[in-house]
Chains A and B, each alone.
Chain A
Amino acid sequence: MKAQYKSEIKRLYLNMYAFLFEYARSTLPTDALAEEAVQDTFQIACQKPEAVLSSPNPEGWIVKTLKNVLRNTVKEQNTSRRILLNYFASNIDDITVTEDRVKLEILYENVADLEEFKLIKAMALEGKSYLEISRELGISLAACRKRMQRAREKLRKKMKI
């Protein structure tokens, strides 16, 4: 990216980050997801600097992009949750109360040991961002995204949904 573009995108970033974070946080359930939505927004801006900077309203362009990022994040979470819910639904009798009554115990069956299941659960139920999950797994952010995509496909096929 040209240095001039970089400088301008950086200026937009520093001026807008806090505001965009608040906007994202109003929609997404965790700080991590909201941060990631803003980061993704500016990653897109870096991919299209001319589109942003030639816009009559670069700030508006950024906000519009964030809105689309949020929609996609919500969709991803919804898809992941639906996959998990199908599993829970068919195994609801296995959910029982522990002695201390404060933890949900789920008896996994043949998907418990699946890495894919754990990945989707981390995002869909625990509200973790790709960055958080990638750090836990010790992989790159890009690898994490790809792994999540494959995980959803695999579990979707396995559960026939």
Chain B
Amino acid sequence: MPENQNRNEDVFAKYSAMSTAQLQQILREDASKPEGQEETSAEALLYIMEVLAQRRRARNEGKTPEEALEEFHKYYENNDVSIQIERKPDHRKKISASPRWVKRLAAAAAVVVLIFSISFTAEAFGVHIGKRIINWTRDTFSFGKMEEDLKDVPAKTDPAVFQGLREALDAYDMTDCPIPSWLPEGYTEHSVKAANTSVQRMIIARYRCEDGDIVIWIADHLEESPTYIEQSEGHAEIYEVAGVPYYIFRDNRNLNAAWIYGSYECCISGPLSIEQIKFMIDSIRKG
């Protein structure tokens, strides 16, 4: 009906003015909502999808439906998908972290792991910070893309290995990322490693003493994508400093603080007390 169509276009015209990233965010949020709790109407979602599809066609990207259908007939139609599509996520089911997989890399491996480019999880309450989302769930997972190159590795004394976290950040053009300038007594720098992939840059600094390791992990996205920091268990305390919320939570033996600063996703993890981690947070500043 033309009248209804015109009214819809007026109502949804705001979406046409939004950026692609904003529209994708709306779709992503819809996908993350349990059935019946979606906030965006089906008509609005269809409008958004159409806008995005038109933009993609204008860029001459992606397959046409006919091309995709051909691929479907060739590869998918007669193959068993073998995925349990009918099983919906159980929002009340606790996925307990196996204590056996708590590893030395406290910042990410055992407790807090950054997920890149995955937009939703089954059980979460979210705090939105621009395009980045920090969600607490009971599941954990890992980094984004990594590239490998099995060349010879330089020795630790080689000048290519960074002497400090600040130097590594500067070398990877992450100069505007503030870092802690305080560590508990007894910790010395053990290593600073860097990784650069097609979608992110990542710096991992490890400080060691008898009690264990403190790891500071900073990652930067090179393209826009949603990000989640997830914990395996434990209560989260939000400690706000200079308008930046720091999410503090414990998992097994480590205390962790995770936060987002601009495009940077950051994490501290180690055998720290709440006071120590707050001192570290308080000391965060540039340069």
User: Which one, B83, B116, B121, contacts A40 given CB within 8 A?
Assistant: B83
| Interface status of A22 (Cβ within 8 A of chain B) | yes
Q: Which residue of chain B is the closest to A127 with respect to CB atoms?
A: B145
Interface segment, one of B106-114, B235-243, B255-263? B106-114
Known: A44-B85, A89-B104, A160-B101. A97 touches B194 (CB 8 A): yes
Are A102 and B76 in contact (CB-based, < 8 A)?
no
| Interface status of A154 (Cβ within 8 A of chain B) | no
> Chain B contacts of A17 at CB under 8 A?
65, 68-69
Per the CB 8 Å criterion, the residue count for chain A at the interface is 78
User: Which one, A19, A21, A98, contacts B154 given CB within 8 A?
Assistant: A98
> Chain B contacts of A89 at CB under 8 A?
103-105, 108-110
- Expressed in whole angstroms, the Cα–Cα distance for A143 and B35 within the complex equals 33
> Chain B contacts of A125 at CB under 8 A?
143-146
| Interface status of B118 (Cβ within 8 A of chain A) | yes
Q: Which residue of chain A is the closest to B168 with respect to CB atoms?
A: A97
Are B65 and A18 in contact (CB-based, < 8 A)?
yes
Q: Mark A21-56, 1 if CB is under 8 A from B, else 0.
A: 111011111010001001110111010000000000
Are A98 and B83 in contact (CB-based, < 8 A)?
no
Are B118 and A74 in contact (CB-based, < 8 A)?
yes
- Expressed in whole angstroms, the Cα–Cα distance for A18 and B48 within the complex equals 12
| Interface status of B24 (Cβ within 8 A of chain A) | yes
- Expressed in whole angstroms, the Cα–Cα distance for A99 and B48 within the complex equals 46
- Expressed in whole angstroms, the Cα–Cα distance for A11 and B158 within the complex equals 62
Q: Mark A130-142, 1 if CB is under 8 A from B, else 0.
A: 0100000000111
Are B46 and A103 in contact (CB-based, < 8 A)?
no
Q: How far is the CB of A84 from chain B (nearest CB, A)?
A: 6
Are B65 and A13 in contact (CB-based, < 8 A)?
yes
> Chain A contacts of B147 at CB under 8 A?
103-104
Are B79 and A140 in contact (CB-based, < 8 A)?
yes
Are B66 and A97 in contact (CB-based, < 8 A)?
no
> Chain A contacts of B274 at CB under 8 A?
none
- Expressed in whole angstroms, the Cα–Cα distance for A10 and B46 within the complex equals 19
> Chain A contacts of B151 at CB under 8 A?
98, 103, 105
- Majority-rule SS of A interface residues: helix
- Expressed in whole angstroms, the Cα–Cα distance for A102 and B148 within the complex equals 10
A residues 38-97 near B (Cβ < 8 Å) are: 38-40, 42-44, 46, 60, 63-65, 67-79, 81-82, 84-86, 88-90, 92-93, 95-97
> Chain A contacts of B98 at CB under 8 A?
161
- Expressed in whole angstroms, the Cα–Cα distance for A38 and B63 within the complex equals 12
Known: A22-B52, A84-B142. A105 touches B148 (CB 8 A): yes
Q: How far is the CB of A29 from chain B (nearest CB, A)?
A: 3
- Expressed in whole angstroms, the Cα–Cα distance for A156 and B83 within the complex equals 19
Are B141 and A14 in contact (CB-based, < 8 A)?
no
Are A14 and B65 in contact (CB-based, < 8 A)?
yes
Are B204 and A95 in contact (CB-based, < 8 A)?
yes
> Chain B contacts of A161 at CB under 8 A?
98, 100-101
- Expressed in whole angstroms, the Cα–Cα distance for A28 and B32 within the complex equals 12
> Chain B contacts of A97 at CB under 8 A?
154, 160-162, 193-194
A22-B53, A127-B145, A161-B101 are known; give 9 further A-B pairs, CB within 8 A.
Answer: A17-B69, A29-B225, A31-B62, A95-B204, A97-B162, A104-B147, A104-B195, A104-B196, A145-B81
Residues of A within 8 A of B (CB): 10, 13-15, 17-23, 25-29, 31, 35, 38-40, 42-44, 46, 60, 63-65, 67-79, 81-82, 84-86, 88-90, 92-93, 95-99, 101-107, 124-127, 131, 140-142, 145-146, 149, 159-161
- Cross-chain pairs A/B with CB under 8 angstroms, 29 sampled: A10-B69, A19-B50, A22-B49, A25-B24, A29-B225, A40-B76, A40-B83, A63-B42, A68-B85, A69-B85, A72-B83, A72-B87, A73-B83, A74-B120, A75-B89, A79-B141, A81-B141, A85-B141, A95-B195, A96-B153, A97-B162, A98-B151, A99-B154, A101-B194, A103-B147, A103-B148, A127-B117, A142-B79, A160-B100
